Chain A
Amino acid sequence: MGRKKKKQSKPWCWYCNREFEDEKILIQHQKAKHFKCHICHKKLYTGPGLSIHCMQVHKEAIDKVPNSLPNRSNIEIEIYGMEGIPQADLKEHERQKAGSRPSGSDDEEDDEPAAKKPKPEGLLGTAPGVMPGMPMMQGMMPPHMQGMPPGMQMGHMMAMGPMGPHFMHHGMPMMPPHMAMMQQQGGPPKPLFPSAVPSSSPSSAVVGADFKPITSGATISAPPTTNNLSASSSTSSAPDTSKVNTITTTSAASKIIHPAEDISLEEIRARHHKYKKSIPTKVERESPHTQSTSSVASDLAMAVSAAHQAAVRQQDIIHQAQAAMMQRFPPMRPPISIAGTPVSSMSLVAPMRPMAIPGPPTLLGGPIMRPPMGMPPGMIGMPPGVLYGPPMFGTGPVIMQPRFR
Chain B
Amino acid sequence: MFNQSPFGQTAAQSVPNPMKDYEVTSPPDDSISCLSFSPATIPQNFLIAGSWDNHVRCWEVEQTGRTIPKSMQTCGGPVLDVCWSDDGTKVFMAGCDKQAKAWDLGSNQVVQVAAHDAPIKTCHWIKAPNYSCLMTGSWDKTLKFWDTRSPNPILSLNLPDRCYCADVDYPMAVVGTAGRQIIIYQLEGKPEEYKRTESPLKYQHRCVAIFKDKKKVPTGYALGSVEGRVAIQYVNPTSPKDNFTFKCHRSTGALNGFQDIYAVNDIAFHSVHGTLATVGSDGTFSFWDKDARTKLKPSEAMEQPITRCAFNNSGQIFAYAVSYDWSKGHEFYNTSKKNYIFLRSCYDELKPRSSP
- Report B207 CB to chain A, min CB distance, Å: 10
Return the chain B residue nearest A184 by Cβ. Answer: B13
Contact B96 A291 (CB under 8 A): no
Interface flags for A246-277 (1: CB within 8 Å of B; 0: not) read 01011101111111001111111110100100
- Report B250 CB to chain A, min CB distance, Å: 7
9-residue interface stretch from A9-17, A27-35, A83-91, A375-383:
A375-383
Is B77 an interface position by the 8 A CB rule?
A: yes
A residues within 8 A CB of B345?
A: 160, 403-404
Contact B151 A267 (CB under 8 A): no
CB-CB under 8 A for A288 and B105, given A183-B303, A378-B110: no
Is A70 an interface position by the 8 A CB rule?
A: yes
Is A77 an interface position by the 8 A CB rule?
A: no
The docked-state distance in angstroms from the alpha carbon of A254 to that of B139 is 30
Return the chain B residue nearest A300 by Cβ. Answer: B109
9-residue interface stretch from B125-133, B186-194, B197-205, B270-278:
B197-205
9-residue interface stretch from B64-72, B167-175, B212-220:
B64-72
Interface residues on B, range: 35 or more
Return the chain B residue nearest A230 by Cβ. Answer: B118
Contact A175 B303 (CB under 8 A): yes
CB-CB under 8 A for A225 and B112, given A138-B256, A167-B22, A259-B329: no
Is A1 an interface position by the 8 A CB rule?
A: no
Contact A378 B263 (CB under 8 A): no
B residues within 8 A CB of A355?
A: none
The docked-state distance in angstroms from the alpha carbon of A281 to that of B200 is 40
B residues within 8 A CB of A329?
A: 66
CB-CB under 8 A for A369 and B72, given A300-B110, A329-B66: yes
Contact B77 A275 (CB under 8 A): yes
The docked-state distance in angstroms from the alpha carbon of A269 to that of B46 is 28
- Report B256 CB to chain A, min CB distance, Å: 6
Contact B99 A288 (CB under 8 A): yes
Q: Which of B129-143 contact A (CB under 8 A)?
A: 139-141
Q: Which of A194-239 contact B (CB under 8 A)?
A: 210-211, 213-215, 218-222, 224-226, 229-230
Interface of B is mostly: loop
Contact A267 B139 (CB under 8 A): yes
B residues within 8 A CB of A356?
A: none
- Report A399 CB to chain B, min CB distance, Å: 8
9-residue interface stretch from A100-108, A113-121, A146-154:
A146-154
Interface flags for B8-19 (1: CB within 8 Å of A; 0: not) read 111001111100
Is B119 an interface position by the 8 A CB rule?
A: yes
Contact B112 A292 (CB under 8 A): yes
Is A143 an interface position by the 8 A CB rule?
A: yes
A residues within 8 A CB of B74?
A: 377
The docked-state distance in angstroms from the alpha carbon of A398 to that of B42 is 10
The docked-state distance in angstroms from the alpha carbon of A257 to that of B20 is 27
CB-CB under 8 A for A325 and B6, given A304-B109, A401-B64: no
Is A384 an interface position by the 8 A CB rule?
A: yes
A residues within 8 A CB of B60?
A: 387
Return the chain A residue nearest B59 by Cβ. Answer: A369
Contact A221 B118 (CB under 8 A): no
The docked-state distance in angstroms from the alpha carbon of A98 to that of B181 is 46
Is A405 an interface position by the 8 A CB rule?
A: yes
Return the chain A residue nearest B74 by Cβ. Answer: A377
- Report B307 CB to chain A, min CB distance, Å: 9
The docked-state distance in angstroms from the alpha carbon of A217 to that of B89 is 45
CB-CB under 8 A for A213 and B121, given A264-B164, A283-B76, A380-B71: no
The docked-state distance in angstroms from the alpha carbon of A220 to that of B14 is 40
Q: Which of A39, A291, A384 contacts B151 (CB 8 A)?
A: A291
Contact A156 B65 (CB under 8 A): no
CB-CB under 8 A for A258 and B263, given A146-B6, A146-B252: yes
Is B356 an interface position by the 8 A CB rule?
A: no
B residues within 8 A CB of A290?
A: 151
20 example contacts (A-B, Cβ-Cβ < 8 A) are as follows A39-B246, A134-B256, A134-B257, A141-B254, A144-B4, A147-B298, A148-B297, A167-B21, A177-B14, A218-B180, A251-B259, A264-B162, A278-B78, A281-B77, A284-B76, A289-B152, A292-B112, A322-B68, A380-B72, A384-B107
